[in-house]
A and B are shown apart, each in its own frame.
Chain A
Amino acid sequence: MAVNLVSDAWQDMLESSGIIVTTVDAVYNWARSNSVWPMTFATSCCGIEMMSASAPKFDIARFGSEAFRATPRQSDLMITAGTITYKMAPALLRLYEQMAEPKYVIAMGACTVTGGMYENDSYSVVRGVDRVIPVDVYVPGCPPRPEALLDALIQLQKKMRKETLAERRKRTAQHIARVRLDEDDCLVPLEGATEADFLHWGIQKDGYNVEEMLERGELGLVRGNIKHRHERRK
């Protein structure tokens, strides 16, 4: 469960006076990484694999994540299991915003990583959930096998143990929302957002300068010659 042990002001005061709460963090991280509560969020066929992962044969309970919650307020982890459409995206954003910090996202399946087989010419599918919310672990596959989801969970646990809550807070603060809900319940870009802002958050959070990469044409290599196809469509 998500509890802030020390408030931001306290954390800053302690850090500025040279006190680091490492031991508490280590114990706390050990505890919370071994009881990640996922939210029940399955929109299509990946959901079947997610259910399978929580069923006895694969048994996600071995890694402490068997408590699937039906409310975002009690969840630490959102597994986006399935295609996200324009109509579903506002609900996705709302649910993510309702989750308590620190919160994590596993993008499960090709659809939520890049749009999958709907990426090329679908009129209704969001091309990767990381255009809407930040993603911690990407699981490719259509759908991924339950073992892949278990592996993603283990990777996420490693990630949770590595960073302290303060680091996590800073990291999430770095993520700038690029879309917002307008009065029609439509996801629209924020004012001042450029094309570079809508490309994968995973690239951006790792410190790459996306605008420079776009200019140099390197991003096509990362996302599979996308710029070329984009121009051909015009």
Chain B
Amino acid sequence: MNEENKSPEQAPETEVIEATPAIPAGMFGALLESKGIAAEHLGNDAKGTEIIRLTAEAILKAGELLKGDASSKLDMLLLVTGIDWKTHRESVYHLYSTVHYHSLIIKIVADANDTSPSLYPVWPAADWHEREAYDLMGIHYEGHPDLRRILMPTYWLGHPLRKDYKEEDPRLVWNRR
């Protein structure tokens, strides 16, 4: 109620001060930092799930830790999402613990060649999910045992869910509208 009574001149100052709080490390971020793995904390999503961003170098080590550590036990990979930010591509991994019933979201930015490390060695469930992200978004997962298309036909050119995708295959001219 006090905030509503503030004069409009005071509001911008408080906004500037409050706009740059460092997001505190959540449970999983603190766990990673205690083992010397740097993680970028992105806050929580609407359901309170912690979101962290990891580097390509740290992800496999962090994955083994998060899966094996008794306090996290993130033993289940729920889904893999690919995001096209136009400038770069990003993979989002949703993890869940069937022991502690908590979850974590990990984001990994793919490099300039759209290459990202595969999480198949840690969570074998990543196999088909990463194939789908490769098929539709064009993210190449290094270390994936069988990276080929899963939804589109094998002859397909390009990755159809990219923002800059244009279907220009001359073989498919019979289906133009």
Contacts and interface: CB of A to CB of B under 8 A. Distances in A.
A124 interface: yes
A229 B155 CA distance: 28
Interface in A116-165: 119-120, 123-124, 126-127, 131
Given A127-B177, A226-B177, A185 B167 contact: no
Contacts of B101: none
B22 interface: no
A200 to B, nearest CB: 11
Max count, chain B CB within 10 A of own CB: residue among A120, A189, A195? A189
Dominant secondary structure of chain A at its interface with chain B: loop
Interface in B128-177: 151-156, 160, 165, 167, 171-177
B174 A189 contact: yes
A6 interface: no
Given A86-B153, A186-B155, A120 B177 contact: yes
B176 A198 contact: yes
Contact of B175 (A120, A127, A185, A226): A127
For chain A, which range describes its interface: under 10, 10 to 19, 20 to 34, or 35 or more residues? 20 to 34
A123 B171 CA distance: 14
Contact of A124 (B154, B160, B173, B176): B160
Nearest to B153: A87
Nearest to A198: B174
A197 B171 CA distance: 15
Nearest to B156: A86
A126 B175 contact: yes
Of B153, B155, B177, most A-chain CB atoms within 10 Å = B177
Given A179-B174, A198-B174, A185 B160 contact: no
Given A123-B160, A123-B165, A124-B160, A131 B154 contact: no
B148 to A, nearest CB: 14
A187 interface: yes
A182 to B, nearest CB: 7
Contacts of B156: 86
B173 A198 contact: yes
A86 B154 CA distance: 11
B138 to A, nearest CB: 14
Contacts of B175: 86, 126-127, 131, 198
A168 interface: no
A73 interface: no
A189 B165 CA distance: 23
Contacts of B154: 184-185
A87 B152 contact: yes
A230 B173 CA distance: 12
Interface of A: 86-87, 115, 119-120, 123-124, 126-127, 131, 178-179, 182, 184-189, 193, 195, 197-198, 226, 229-230
Interface of B: 151-156, 160, 165, 167, 171-177
27 contacts: A86-B156, A86-B172, A86-B175, A87-B151, A87-B153, A115-B177, A119-B177, A120-B177, A123-B167, A124-B152, A124-B160, A127-B175, A127-B177, A131-B174, A179-B174, A185-B153, A185-B154, A185-B155, A186-B172, A187-B171, A188-B171, A188-B172, A188-B174, A193-B174, A226-B177, A229-B177, A230-B176
